[in-house]
Amino acid sequence: MNQIYAIGDIQGCSTQLDNLVNELPFGSKIICVGDLVNRGPDSLGTLRRLKAWQELGDCECILGNHDLHLLARDAGIRGPKSLDTLDDILRAPDRRELIDWLRKRPLALFDGFNLFIHAGVLPQWGINQVMELADEVQKALKRKNYVSFLESMYGNTPTKWSNTLKGEDRLRVIVNAFTRMRFCSSKGEMDFASKEGMGTAPKNFYPWFNVPKRKTENLRIYFGHWSTMGLVQKKNIIGLDTGCVWGGSLTAMSLDEEPQMIQTPGLVKHVAF
C-alpha cells in the first residue's frame, strides 16, 4: 500500500517541492495543506506540478488564503499585494485551466481519522459539521457565478460562528476559520490581529487547537498557515508550516500511527523583497 504524506505550505517554491517529493518513499501520495502559491519564485510551476499530480491520482490539495487570493486576483476583484508573485500564473497560456482546477479544490479532507485543513476549525464544530461547512464553500466556488462569492468573501466580521448565520456572513466565517484563523476564544470568537507564535495569544484567547473541549480533539489534524509558530507535533495536532518561503524548510509528515517527518531546506533567500 502506498504511503501518504501531508505537506506544509509550499507558496510557489517549486524546487523545494521537487526536492521534498524526491525524498519520499517511491509511490507515495501527497496531501498539500494549502498556500500552494504566492511569495515564492515559481507559483506557476508549482501549480502546474500539483495539477498534473492530482490528475494522476498522486496528490490532493487544500485551499489556503493565498490560493483564494489568487482566485480573487484572477477575477479582478483584488489588486496585487507588495509581496505577490502571481503574475506568472495570470499571464500563462493555461491560466484558465489552472484557475478552474484550483477553485475546485476542497477546504477540508477527512479519511475517517485524519483531518486536513489549512488554518483551523472552530471548537464547537464536530467533524460532520466541519465537512458540511467546507462543502458549502466548495459548492460556492464551483458555481458558474463563483466570482460573486469571492466579492463577498473578504472581511473580519462576523468574528464568531452561529448556526443561524446565512448568506455572505455565513460563508465568510467559514472561510476565515478554515483559511485565516490562529487564535480563538472558548466560545469560538476569532482574532485576526495576532499573527506571531502561540505565546502571543490575546487575553482569553487560545491557539485554536488548545481550546478546551474542542469537538474535534479526538481526531488527528494536519494543518499549515502558521509559520511563526513553526513545526507542531503533539498528540493529534500536526502543524506543517515551517516557513519554506522564509528560509525555513518544507515539511512532509506521514499518516502513520507514529508519523514520520521528512524535511528539505527552504529558500536560501526570500526572493520577493
Sheet order of strands, 114-116 included: 109-110, 114-116, 220-223, 237-239, 232-234
Element (DSSP H or E) covering residue 262: strand 261-265
Strands 249-254 and 206-207: unpaired
**CATH architecture classification, 4-265:** 4-Layer Sandwich (3.60)
* pLDDT tens sequence for the chain (273 residues): 689 999 999 999 999 999 999 999 999 999 999 999 999 999 999 999 999 999 999 999 999 999 999 999 999 999 999 999 999 999 999 999 999 999 999 999 999 999 999 999 999 999 999 999 999 999 999 999 999 999 999 999 999 999 999 999 999 999 999 999 999 999 999 999 888 888 888 999 999 999 999 999 999 999 999 999 999 999 899 999 999 999 999 999 999 999 999 999 999 865 444
What pTM does this model have?
0.96
8 vs 5, 116, 142, 251, 268, CA distance in Å? 10, 11, 25, 6, 18
